[in-house]
Amino acid sequence: MPKEKKDRTLKLPFILCITLSIIIIIAILYFTVDAETIENLSNVTIKFEFFAVAIFLNVLYWIFWGARLKVLANMMDKDAKIGIVESTKIVIANFFLASITPSMAGGEPVRIHLLNKNGMSLGCATAAVLGERLMDAIFILVLVPIALFIFKEVRDLGFISLGLTIGVIVFILLLILFIYAIIRPEKTKAFLISVSKIFSRFSKKKESGKKIIQRINHEVDNFHDSMYRFSGDNKKSLFLASIFTFLMWSSGFLIPSIILLGLGLPPYFIESYAAQVLLIVIIMMPTTPGSAGVTEVGIYGLYGVLIGTTSDTLIGVFIILYRFVTFHMNLIFGAIFQYRIFRSVASFSLDMIKKTDDKCDIK
* 101-115, 179-193, 269-283 — most confident range: 269-283
Taking a C-beta distance cutoff of 8 angstroms, is the pair 33, 47 a contact? Answer: no
Residue 349's pLDDT band (boundaries 50, 70, 90)?
Answer: low
Residue 151 lies in a domain: yes
pLDDT in tens, 28-52: 778 777 777 777 777 777 899 999 9
Does any domain span residue 291? yes
d(CA 207, CA 205): 7
Number of domains in the chain: 1
Higher pLDDT among residues 16 and 258, named by residue: 258
Burial class (CB in 10 A: 0-12, 13-18, 19+), 254: buried
Query: Do the domain assignments include residue 186?
Result: yes
User: Distance between CA atoms of 295 and 119, rounded to whole angstroms?
Assistant: 36
Question: Is 362 domain-assigned?
Answer: no
Greater model confidence, 291 or 240: 240
User: What Rg do the C-alpha atoms of the chain give, in angstroms?
Assistant: 22
Q: Does any domain span residue 359?
A: no
Residue 26 lies in a domain: yes
Residues 6+ apart with CB under 8 A from 316: 25, 28, 29, 32, 33, 37
Please state whether the predicted TM-score (pTM) of the whole model is above 0.85: no
233 part of a folded domain? yes
Look at residue 168 in the predicted model and tell me its pLDDT. Answer: 78
Q: Which domain holds residue 269?
A: 3-352
User: Within a domain: residue 272?
Assistant: yes
